[in-house]
Every structure is written in C-alpha cells, then in structure tokens.
Amino acid sequence: MCGIVGYIGERQAAPILLEGLSKLEYRGYDSAGIAVFDDNKIEVAKAKGRLNVLAEKTNDGKTIHGTMGIGHTRWATHGEPSDENAHPHISMSGRFAVVHNGIIENYIALKKKLTDKGFEFISETDTEVIAHLFEYYYKGDIMDAMIRVINRVEGSYALGVLCSDYPDSFVAVRKSSPLIVGLGENENFVASDVTAILKHTRDIYYLEDNEMVVLKKDSVKVYNKDKEEVPKEKFTVDWDVSAAEKGGYEHFMMKEIEEQPKAIRDTISPRIKDGRIVLDDITLTTEDIKNINKIYIVACGSAYHVGVVGKYVIEKMCRIPVEVQVASEFRYCDPIIKKNDLVIVISQSGETADTLAALKEAKNHGARILSIVNVVGSAIANASDDVIYTWAGPEIAVATTKAYSTQLAVIYLIAAYMAEKLGMLTSGEYAKFISEIEALPDKVAEILKSKEELQFLASKFFNCRSIFFIGRNLDYAVSLEGSLKLKEISYIHSEAYAAGELKHGTISLIEDGTLVVALATGRELFDKTVSNVKEVKARGAVVMGVTTQAHENMEDVADYVVKIPEAHEMLLPSLTVIPLQLFGYYVASLKGCDIDKPRNLAKSVTVE
C-alpha cells in the first residue's frame, strides 16, 4: 500500500525515481509524485492517476534536474485521489518535502495546533501535517527536527524527507511501515520494497522501528532516537532480477501461477532431508510441542484462508485445538491466550499492519509466536520467536497465487513435524505423507498443462453477475480462496459457502443460470456434496464441479467437470486451488480488467 523511493548520487534522480515507482505499482496507488533538489530549491511534480501521467508530465523525468530526490505512489486514505492530495507534500516555506506511507492517527489535533500557529493547509491528507511539523520544529538540525516529529505523531509511518538546507543528504525513518536502504557505488537509495532498486543494487539494510537514516551519495548512517549511531548488518538479495520482471507473460499473475511448482519445491525441498522434515529455522522443541494447549492462526485475506486449511490439517493430524481469526478481529476481541498457546502468524510481506498488531497483542499475553512470511528481515519476522520463510521469491501481482501455495506448503510441514513429535503418525504414515508432499510440485505442473480447459470455461461464464463456490471441510476452505481470487480481479460478485449450510438461507440466491462452482475432492464427504449439487441444480443452477480423477460420477450431476490428480487428502487444497486461480484469471482477462493492479486494492496493506 503506497510506495516510496529515494535516491542520492551522481545521476539525474527523476528518471531513477520514476523507474523505481513503476516497480512498486503492484502495491496499489491512485496518484504519484516526485520531489527533486536542484539549484538550492526543491522542485515537485505530481499527478492523479497512473504513473504514466506523471511520466508524460515530466518527459520521463528528463525535465526535472538534480541528483537527489524522493518519490511516492499514493493509495488514498485521507482525501480523494487528486493532484493536491498526492505526495510529496511541501512545508509552507518550501524548505521541506515529505513522502509518507502509513496513517497519522492524531493528525486532526496536530492540524488544529498548526493552524492556530498560522500554518495553511492545501490538502486533505494527514501527511501534510508532517511537512508542517518539520518546519515548526526545525531549528537548524534536521535530525533534531526528525526526533521531535516522530515523538509527536501517533500511528504508522515510513517517511522520506528532503530539506533545502541540506543539499548533500536526505533523511528517512520508519515505524510499522516497510522501508529498506539500498547501498550502491557513489549512490544510495531508500524504498518500500527491494524490487524498486534491484536494478541498481543488491546490498540492503533493513530498518527497525524508529531507526532514522541519513543518506549521502557516499555514506549511509543509521541512528536511534537518542541520535546514537546503530550498526547495521548488510543483506545481499540473492534472487534473480528477472524474477521481478514479466518474462514474456502478459501479466505477472499468470507468470506467478506458472511459477508455483518451482516455488513449492523451493519451499519444501530444503526442509526434507533423508525422508524427514527438518525445521532448523525454529527452536520449538518436542517438549514445547507436547505442552501446547491451543494454537491460534492469525492472518488477513488469502493468508487467512491458508489458516482455515491449517485448522483442518493440524487438528486432524495433531489433535490440538486450532482457532483461526482474522487479524483485525483478533486484536480487538480481548483474546483468551495462555502461556502454553502457540500463535501462528501468516503474512506474505511480513509488514501487514493488522497482523503485526495482532502479533504484538499475542506477545503481550505471553504466547509463543511462529510466523510464516516471505520477506527476510520484515517487521513480523523480527518480532517473532520463530520464523519459517516461504522462499516464494517476489510476487508482483496484487492477487496472490504462489505466496498462498507456499504458505500452504509450510502449514503441511508444520503439521507433519508436530504430529511426528507427538507420536500421532506411524512410521509408514509419516513416510507416505512426506512422499506425497514431495510429489506436489509435479502434480501442480500437471494441472497447469490443462489450463486451456479453464480458459474455455471462463469464456462461457465471464458475463455472470454472481458466482457461488461451495464445498465441505477442506473444500470449503479452498472455496474461500477461489471466491476471493475471482472477485478481486474480475469484479464479479462472488461468495463461498459451506455446502451443508445452503439450506439455511443462502440457497434462496440460486436462480436459473446461476453458476455454482462445487468443490468435491474428499472421499468421505463426496456423496454429501453431490447431494448439495443436486439441490442447486434443481433450482436452475449451472454447476462446474472440481474433483479428483477417482470420482467419476461427478459427471452425472455437474454440467462441467474439472479433474485434479489424486493426492493425500490433507494435501488436496494445493491442487484444488490451481484451477480456481486459472478460472479467475481468464474471467478477468476476458472482461478486460487490470489483472495485476485491480481497482481499490493494494498488495501490502500497511494501514488499518
């Protein structure tokens, strides 16, 4: 959500800022702007709409000179998308330019204070308050002003700040919103995500909360709020830059769907050695596992849907009670957490605001935190007792695919790891489960070979007004994700229902021609789901069934049937979700939607 890029060096800054912002478009935005220092003043250019509007306005940055600047893509929170509300924001004298990700919760009180002091506001944003605060507190030392500002504001922020009194440096700070530092040769960078600067450097610093950084072209220094220099460990990004490029695909989403076999293999292979699951990343001992009283899984969006699968899998295999909660609800429901409870936190970015806040709430209650994230050094990873990284590589499309699949893979590993420690699996069952996990990448690849079948089905249904997904148990868990994928990229109204609940009200929504996607992969509940299919068919529904190759009689009741390979019942979600991702993609493509950047959505939700 929103994106920041900053540059200082020997090259013209504006083209580099625009290029970096283009790599952050996936985060979601509705306006963009840059501020560049040149000839003792700060020049600002910003525009509502897509980044190409700003690029045309500045001739791809060529008309704005200077070798130091900051840029921003804004996702509107306070104030509608407009040129006035776009970042950067300028202080009243023009001395300061500020870009900001996050939300300033006490901005109304601060705005009143500043207005009473004679400051004039031209935008509706909370960010403009920060620009004026810098001017209000500035007494000649930018770091002193920064400390006073961050001590005064409440909420989340990543800030990049130019000051016209400092022609050879700019400053940045973060709290609960991602910001990294890129280290180059006679040039340095800040960015919300490494993808923005990967073309220029692979060496980065991860900033912790309330760490401030002063960037010059030939030096980077990080300080705490006491102005004490903080030593930082340099990280080197090891994935190929091509992983963040489309590579010939029309959309990142399709590229990432196709990357899932490799991503799943990269996640599981290093953790299975000599037929055993080895989680060297975690310190959870056998005794710790035996003492677990309850497991909470806390996440948002697709990661929450992974958690719903996780509940079924962990309870079935480990016989430990599991409660899954949306992070924003967990935080405010006064959760009953005890010392021996384990909280599994799932977040692709590792920066999701509600999930991070829920993590802190759980820690305050004394729970142990095990996080599943994709980004090394992210806020959630740093705040956890144990971390398992998914190794999915960069995911650019807003609608997640390979992040979901790799998170599922980690859930399977955790469940089997704990079940074996608890003695819940015989040696034969354990070996069989490991073998089935290792077979998942090839089975996913097998499904992807038949994607034209999903393209054909999409061509028949892309004009639907409403589509419903039904399933039981694990199939219901996957239907939640299938429904979300469809609605977020195609804008078609879609809901997922537990099939057994249809008669309790929701079947009233079925009318002639309504498409119902029925997931029926499990053996034990297959016949019951078939009965639900017959119920909706009797009321005029058109049914697309998704089942395994062993269930031949789905053809007797469904109008269209999609088959997936056989697998261990607990692992079927990894296969079932693939045709649902493809169906959503092709429906959105036929509707002409902006698949990688759906309206109103952001990749990384770093504000409440």
- Domain membership of residue 607 (yes or no) is no
Return the minimum-mean-pLDDT range out of 37-46, 273-282, 314-323.
Answer: 273-282
Given a cut of 70, is residue 139 above it in pLDDT?
yes
Given a cut of 80, is residue 557 above it in pLDDT?
yes
Given a cut of 80, is residue 605 above it in pLDDT?
no
Catalytic residue (choose from 48, 111, 217, 603): 603
pLDDT tens digit sequence for 500-521: 887 788 888 888 889 999 999 9
Return the minimum-mean-pLDDT range out of 101-110, 164-173, 289-298.
Answer: 101-110
**Catalytic site includes residue 593:** no
Mean pLDDT along residues 310-331: 94
Confidence grade of residue 602 (pLDDT, cut at 50, 70, 90): low
Confidence grade of residue 75 (pLDDT, cut at 50, 70, 90): confident
Return the minimum-mean-pLDDT range out of 232-246, 374-388, 442-456.
Answer: 232-246
Residue 204 shares a structural domain with residue 75:
yes
Residue 27 shares a structural domain with residue 161:
yes
Confidence grade of residue 256 (pLDDT, cut at 50, 70, 90): very high
- Domain membership of residue 608 (yes or no) is no
Candidate ranges 17-31, 353-367, 379-393, 427-441; pick with highest mean pLDDT: 427-441
pLDDT tens digit sequence for 413-426: 999 999 999 999 99
Q: From CA 172, how far away is CA 6, in angstroms rounded?
A: 9
Residue 315 shares a structural domain with residue 253:
yes
- Domain membership of residue 61 (yes or no) is yes
Residue 340 shares a structural domain with residue 216:
no
- Domain membership of residue 260 (yes or no) is yes
Given a cut of 60, is residue 604 above it in pLDDT?
no
β-bridge mates for residue 369, sequence order: 343
pLDDT at 239: 64
Residue 327 shares a structural domain with residue 224:
no
Mean pLDDT along residues 195-206: 92
Given a cut of 60, is residue 382 above it in pLDDT?
yes
**Percent of the chain as helix, strand, coil, to the nearest 5:** 40, 25, 35
Residue 276 shares a structural domain with residue 225:
no
Cβ atoms within 10 A of the Cβ of 448, count? Answer: 17
How far, CA to CA in Å, does 169 sit from each of 163, 187, 213, 216?
8, 11, 10, 5
Length of the chain: 608
Residue 40 shares a structural domain with residue 181:
yes
Confidence grade of residue 562 (pLDDT, cut at 50, 70, 90): very high
In CATH, what number is assigned to the domain containing residue 10?
3.60.20.10
pLDDT at 60: 95
Task: Write down which residue in 192, 210, 238 finishes a domain.
Answer: 238
Mean pLDDT along residues 227-252: 82
Residue 409 shares a structural domain with residue 472:
no
Residue 468 shares a structural domain with residue 359:
no
If you ran DSSP here, which 8-state letter would residue 247 be given?
T
Given a cut of 80, is residue 327 above it in pLDDT?
yes
The number of folded domains in the chain is: 3
Element (H or E) spanning 562, and its range?
Answer: strand 560-564
Q: What is the DSSP string of 324-348?
A: EEEHHHHTTS-----TT-EEEEEES
Residue 230 shares a structural domain with residue 261:
no
- Residues in contact with 96: Cβ distance below 8 Å, sequence separation at least 6, in sequence order: 90, 131, 134, 135, 138, 161, 162, 163, 164
Residue 291 shares a structural domain with residue 406:
yes
pTM of the model: 0.76
By CB neighbour count within 10 A (0-12 exposed, 13-18 middle, 19+ buried), where does 466 fall? middle
Boundaries of domain holding 124: 3-238
How far, CA to CA in Å, does 413 sit from each of 341, 342, 372, 400?
19, 16, 12, 21
Nearest to 66 by CA among 171, 170, 167: 167
Catalytic residue (choose from 2, 163, 318, 464): 2
Q: Which residues of 382-406 are buried (b: 16+ CB within 10 A; e: fewer)?
A: ebbebbbbbbbbbbbbbbbbbbbbb
**Catalytic site includes residue 603:** yes
Query: Which strands form 368-373's sheet, in the order they lie side by side?
Result: 322-326, 295-299, 342-347, 368-373, 386-389
pLDDT at 244: 63
Residue 273 shares a structural domain with residue 405:
yes
Averaged confidence pLDDT in the chain: 92
- Domain membership of residue 495 (yes or no) is yes
Is the N-terminal amide bond of 270 cis, ω within 30° of 0? no
Task: Write down which residue in 398, 425, 447 finishes a domain.
Answer: 447
Mean pLDDT along residues 435-455: 96
- Domain membership of residue 216 (yes or no) is yes
β-bridge mates for residue 160, sequence order: 99, 172
